[in-house]
Chain A
């Protein structure tokens, strides 16, 4: 029996978050080889016509106490990944390990996992039941886990106050009476009602006006500090991601193409797609407007991804090798990884570095790149 079973779950003695099982060095969330294919039904008898390979082999870690930003465009699979993390969708393959314990195993049954991981959705209106008052919406989660009605209600009021909505005025209201920013605050309060350790924010501020967005971002930072939360922050707004995140993950067509510390990734993007994304941010200087788009065409459909490196049809530095060979993850620097043949030692790409030639420790070794890597 793990230690957290013996802790009281309700009342003032209940800890704010469940005891750290794995220790500070253990990543809070480890995703290994996550795959999600949606079958496409068609034809007379609804036979399979193909698959939407929404998430195709995604692996990453979320460290305790950090904010991991996730960026990518339509079809990259970031929202599907979020839903897979929340177990709202069944993965086709892959493993999710939370604080060292596999989700769904006896160590960590699904219901207990759900208590520790919560999500805030993009559409603030659709995320709230229009027939329930705000306090009922927030108190629902705790009630499901056995918290008494009065305790759940007082927790709801407490959280409403904490997100900046006065309980006396707001607890009895319905979602349609609030503005978008207020609703999103309620969604955050609802997510925190179960005292989770990990909060997934799926484009949580994207639909808000900029001034409201700033307020909600400040709120998220305050809450993270106070509750010791870990965030996975999914967004398409690169400025916001850079501001909020410690590390950033870039996704393209169902794969992770680059991951690294926010500053390093934005200052020295290694993957051509990341560079293109960054160049696509509109200029704020009227005298230095963007002259040419970084990428042409639309983000592709994950139904039939190209062979080899998935980005090669649109990549400005693609070589013939890119269509044949799918790149593996290579390190740019200790914490910065990229999936690109240019950075892969010994790949066929003409611009790839043959590390064995440049690495001083290899001076005594044969110059033949293939042998060095054998």
Chain B
């Protein structure tokens, strides 16, 4: 069970994952059959809106759901080990060492009563038999790696004493403390200001390249996904509706939902004075999923077949798959134009006033 996989096998293999929450009146089908592979050193973005199941999928990789109220079925293999079958002790070894996670709100994810240096050292010493001095040294090195200014001083700071961007960097440092193979990111930049967000996204991209991490990045912001990801999977109603390389998905999306999402956000989509293209209706109730495609009731191309049966996964190209009956039907409006390179705003320009 612990044999390391050959280099070509995907590092993360999720097969037909189903997660149901049984807390409320009706069981909630948060994830219904997700299959996803992430290779070593690859960045996969999971895009979707609230209720799509993206965060639930991510958290299943660390088994963060309350055990009593969650039913998980399927296979989740990380480096050959089945995460769903780990014993509690094995799970604690796995968390942090093989896979770690960064969250949306660092203030809530970091312990407020311990200085950051101590939290990092605790994490390191939990997984590796190193001395205190060695752990401190490594914590300092981590802070330097995530570009925190005055790192030695900041190691002694408490989370509330740092600004939002620095806290997020500190959380990244904490996540990387034990040199994991997989980094999970749950909307890490959503709560940040624009100028800080781009810094963190670029930092993640750099670190990922340097350390050869596999990253699964959950977000609702397509722009953030485009900046960091190699591949993108779009989720809706607990299922993956489209998956492909970031280039192909952005330029030639096939699923009506992806097309609508991209259509509302691409350059030239928001013209002042004109109404925005909207997807009518609202996301499905995960406790009462329809028998057919969950997007059918909002889809402009839905047919009776769509409403009655689950569309199978079909291959658009070698690395682009879509779950739709109607993907070959051309979109009525023209496909979103190829995004032009964004207008340059060189900040250091000697800008002569008009």
CB pair B347–A281 under 8 Å, yes or no, is no
Cβ of A215 and Cβ of B195 under 8 Å apart?
no
Q: Is the CB of A236 within 8 A of B194?
A: yes
Interfacial chain A residues near B165, Cβ < 8 Å = 297-298
Report the nearest B residue to A243, measured CB to CB: B270
Q: Are A270 and B351 in contact (CB under 8 A)?
A: yes
Cβ-based interface call for A254 (8 A): no
With A275-B345, A275-B347, A317-B348 in contact, is A280–B195 under 8 Å at CB?
A: yes
A280–B226 touching, CB < 8 Å: no
Interchain CB contact under 8 A, A294 and B339: no
Q: Does B125 contact A (CB under 8 A)?
A: no
Is B108 interfacial (CB 8 A cutoff)?
A: no
Q: Is B196 an interface residue, CB under 8 A from the partner?
A: yes
Q: Is B246 an interface residue (CB 8 A)?
A: yes
Interface presence of B222 (CB below 8 A): yes
Nearest residue in A to B277 (C-beta to C-beta)?
A: A214
Cβ distance A328 to chain B, nearest Cβ, rounded Å: 15
Q: How far is the CA of A351 from the CA of B226 in the complex (A)?
A: 36
Contact B247 A293 (CB under 8 A): no
- For chains A and B in complex, what number of residue pairs have CB atoms within 8 angstroms? 165
Pick the contact of A279 from B149, B226, B260, B345 — CB < 8 Å? Answer: B345
Q: Is B278 an interface residue (CB 8 A)?
A: yes
Taking the nearest CB of chain A, how far is it from the CB of B152, in angstroms?
Answer: 18
Indicate whether B65 reaches chain A with its CB closer than 8 angstroms: no
Within the assembled complex, what's the spacing in Å between the Cα atoms of A262 and B271? 12
Interface size on B, residues (CB 8 A): 59
Instruction: Assess whether A154 is interfacial by the CB under 8 Å rule.
Output: no
Within B205-231, the residues touching A (CB, 8 Å) are: 205, 220-224, 226-227
Across the two chains, which residue of chain A brings its CB closest to B48? A209
Give the Cβ gap from B6 to chain A, nearest Cβ, in Å: 29
Given known A-B contacts A214-B277, A218-B275, A276-B195, A282 and B49 have beta carbons under 8 A apart: no
How would residues 269 to 302 of chain B score, 1 for a CB under 8 Å from any chain A CB and 0 otherwise?
A: 0111001111110110000000000000000000
Bound form: Cα–Cα A101–B249 in Å: 55
In whole angstroms, what is the CA distance A301 to B207 when docked?
28
Report A-chain residues with C-beta under 8 Å of the C-beta of B223.
Answer: 281-284
A287 touching B247 in the complex, CB below 8 Å, given contacts A282-B198, A294-B195, A343-B353: yes
Contact with A along B294-325 (1 / 0, CB 8 A): 00000000000000000000000000000000
B67 CB-CB contact with A under 8 Å: no
Give bound CA distance, A270 to B50, whole Å.
Answer: 37
Which residues A167-209 have CB closer than 8 A to chain B?
179-181, 209
Please tell me if B31 contacts chain A, counting CB pairs below 8 Å: no
B60 contacts chain A at the CB level, 8 A cutoff: no
B1 interfacial contact with A, CB 8 Å = no
Q: Is the CB of A211 within 8 A of B194?
A: no
Report B348 CB to chain A, min CB distance, Å. 5
- Whole-angstrom distance between the alpha carbons of A240 and B272 in the complex? 9
Beyond A209-B220, A236-B194, A282-B198, is A294–B342 a contact (Cβ under 8 Å)? no
Q: CB within 8 Å of A: which residues of B? A: 49-50, 149, 163-166, 193-199, 201-202, 205, 220-224, 226-227, 246-247, 250, 260-261, 264-267, 270-272, 275-280, 282-283, 339-343, 345-354
Additional A-B contact list (20), CB under 8 Å, known A281-B223, A290-B201: A210-B264, A210-B265, A214-B264, A214-B276, A218-B278, A221-B275, A236-B194, A243-B276, A275-B345, A275-B346, A275-B349, A277-B194, A280-B198, A282-B201, A284-B226, A290-B202, A290-B227, A298-B163, A298-B193, A333-B354
10 A-B residue contacts at CB 8 Å? A214-B278, A236-B194, A239-B265, A262-B272, A281-B194, A284-B265, A285-B339, A285-B340, A289-B205, A290-B227
